[in-house]
Structure 1
Amino acid sequence: MSNNEDFDMQSNHDGEEEWLSKTEVKRQMHALQELGARLTKLNQEQLNKLDLSDKLRSAIDEFHRIKANGAQKRHLQFIGKIMRTEDADEIEHAIGLFEAGHQAHTQVFHKLELWRDRLINEGNSALQEYVSENPTADVQHLRQLIRNAQKELKLEKPPASARKLFKYLRDVADV
């Protein structure tokens, strides 16, 4: 087959060959390149948990050393090419788990921020509701933190006590 033809052959899971259009081949290559780009956004600890080939891992490390934008784009294409030999489904699944964990972590922090704001603005009614949801919380300590944060807010001082309150809420939530 020549490079100018509009179809390419690919083996499926049953060992049979199926014909893919040039557009479909390009679509698959772009998807692999995008997956490779998502890999470059993971930290070292997450990358270590993945079963990546040495070639792909060194290409990802090299990507982080490149500073020129055009060179990074070309290197992403190279990473996409290497991705053809990797188990893309397994990598996609692992990245999805990392991203889901990050979203859950973010949701917990947003909830704690809402509690902090409610405790400072609503006082005792919010405190009673918070303690009913978190019976291990030290009510005396919470009241002191809330009073200090309210005083800071009234005097328009930096929110040091509000940060302490947030830290305590985070400790109670064990995040």
Structure 2
Amino acid sequence: MSTDLPDQHDDDAAERPSKTQRKNEMKALQALGERIIAMSEAERARLPLSEDMRFAVEETSRIRSHEGRRRHMQYVGKVMRREDLPAIQAAFDAMEQEAVRRDQAFHRLERWRDRLIDDTSAESLEAFIAEYPDVDRQTLRQLIRNAQSERQREKPPTNARKLFRLIRETAGMPR
């Protein structure tokens, strides 16, 4: 019988995470908590957080002492253990994907602006109007001419900015 006990003890030890592993998991939860705390209120509202977690996050802003904040972050990590981590990660992933799509759309509009300013033929202008037929054509042409003139005279790109604003508004992209 005594030979069975060490084997059983070894099995229990193999199933339990080590102290280092538990500490690393706790640090990861605290880091996730820090990331949530750093978010704006609107971004945080999109996360599936419990009332306890929302309260812990709000409480963080009232803590001024370094040691108090350190202890509070340990508490945040403890509260994070009860949260739906896969759902929170899914919300983070969705927000990141939105940011990537927004950045891609922004860069696409920047390329349109550069193409319209660089192209002295009417090809780019016609292509833009074909893609966005609701654009104010007169304003578009005027801003392109003014931006080209600014570039030639090495002036600040005031009209290029106005052109980009017009392109962005025409494409329906918010600020």
RMSD: 3.0
Contact 2:48 2:84 in 1 (8 A): no
The answer to whether the Cα contact below 8 Å between 1:8 and 1:21 also exists between their aligned partners in 2 is: no
1:161 offset after TM fit, Å?
A: 0.9
Whether 2:94 is the aligned partner of 1:97: answer yes
Verify: 1:83 aligned to 2:80, yes or no. Answer: yes
Asked if 1:20 is matched to 2:27, the reply is no
Residue type matched to 2:17 in 1?
S
**TM-score of the two chains, using structure 2 as the length reference:** 0.76
Query: Out of 126, 134, 147, which is 1:149 matched to?
Result: 147
**Residue of structure 2 in register with 1:129 after alignment:** 127
Provide the C-alpha distance between the structure 2 equivalents of 1:55 and 1:21, rounded to a whole number of angstroms: 26
The CA distance in 2 between the partners of 1:57 and 1:6, in whole Å, is 40
1:32, 1:88 within 8 Å by CA — same for their partners in 2?
Answer: no
2:140, 2:162 → 1: CA distance? 10
* Structure with greater helix share of residues: 2
Q: Secondary structure at the match of 2:154?
A: coil
Q: Say whether residues 1:108 and 2:80 are aligned partners.
A: no
Question: What's the CA shift for 1:167?
Answer: 0.7
Q: Return the offset for 1:132.
A: 2.6
Which structure has the larger Rg over C-alpha atoms? Answer: 2
2:160 pairs with 1:140: no
Letter in 1 for 2:49: L
Worse overlay, 163-172 or 66-75:
66-75
> Displacement of 1:125 after TM fit?
2.6
Q: Taking every aligned residue pair, what percent have the same amino acid on both sides?
A: 42
Superposed displacement of residue 147, structure 1: 0.5
Task: Output one character per residue of 1:55-111: Cα deviation in whole Å (capped at 9) or x when no partner.
Answer: 322332344456787876664443222201111111111121122112211211111
Structure with higher strand content: 1
Tell me the amino acid that sits aligned with residue 170 of structure 2: V
Indicate yes or no: 2:54 matched with 1:54: no
Q: Which amino acid aligns with 1:104?
A: R
Q: 1:27 to 1:45 in 2, by over 3 A?
A: same
Q: Secondary structure at the match of 1:89?
A: helix
> For 1:6 and 1:72, how far apart are their aligned partners in 2?
39
Which of 38, 41, 45 is matched with 1:41 structurally?
Answer: 38
